[in-house]
Amino acid sequence: MNKLDKINFIIKACNTNEITAYSIAKGTGLTAFGIDKILDGTTKNPRSVTLDAIIKYIEHRLSEEKLKLEEPAATYEKRKIEDIIAEKVIEKMLPYFTRIEVALAENLLDVDDIKEELKSLKKLVKTPN
């Protein structure tokens, strides 16, 4: 496996199995910051030894937890539903944010007005206590 294949494997395995840079760091002794840079593509040419350590950790974790490299359909559907809900919430909130933003830019709102706008926004979205 060449470096690019290793990087792609690492990214896919982490995304599919919700493996974080932090958990890899704990399991390998590498820094979470360095691992994040590999995952987001900032590091263009990571050392082979580093990639091998990350792959070894991922393979060990996958075999231990018997996770699959492909996301289960139920998880995908759940995420899809959560994304739809989030989009609907944002659609409802956007006019409030826009109104507040414009009013602030034009110095039309004071602190009390902003509090009132946020109260009406809070009614739209049920927040956990």
Tell me which amino acid residue 111 is. Answer: V
**Residues 114 and 90 placed together within one structural domain of the fold:** yes
Q: Is there a domain that residue 15 lies in?
A: yes
Contact 103, 109 (CB under 8 A): yes
**Residues 8 and 58 placed together within one structural domain of the fold:** yes
d(CA 125, CA 92): 9
Which residue has tokens 């974790």?
61
> Is 68 a residue whose pLDDT tops 70?
no
Nearest CA among 67, 62, 3 for reference residue 27 = 62
The stretch 64-78 carries a mean pLDDT of 59
End-to-end CA distance of the chain: 50
**Residues 77 and 45 placed together within one structural domain of the fold:** no
Tens of pLDDT, residues 93-126: 666 666 666 666 667 667 777 777 777 777 766 5
Q: Where are the alpha helices (DSSP H) in the chain?
A: 3-17, 21-28, 32-39, 48-65, 73-105, 111-124
What residues make up the domain containing 118? 73-124
Q: Is there a domain that residue 59 lies in?
A: yes
Global pTM reads 0.51
Lowest-pLDDT range of 15-24, 31-40, 81-90: 81-90
**Residues 58 and 91 placed together within one structural domain of the fold:** no
d(CA 99, CA 92): 12
Tens of pLDDT, residues 29-54: 899 999 999 999 999 899 989 999 99
Q: Is there a domain that residue 28 lies in?
A: yes
**Residues 89 and 54 placed together within one structural domain of the fold:** no
Show Cβ contacts of residue 105 under 8 Å, excluding neighbours closer than 6 positions.
none
**Residues 88 and 38 placed together within one structural domain of the fold:** no
**Residues 43 and 81 placed together within one structural domain of the fold:** no
Give the pLDDT score at 129.
44
Instruction: Provide the pLDDT confidence category of residue 5 given band limits of 50, 70 and 90.
Output: very high
Q: Is there a domain that residue 129 lies in?
A: no
Contacts from 67-76 at CB under 8 Å and sequence distance 24+? Answer: 67/17, 68/16, 68/17, 69/12, 69/13, 69/16, 69/17, 70/16, 71/16
What is the number of structural domains in the chain?
Answer: 2
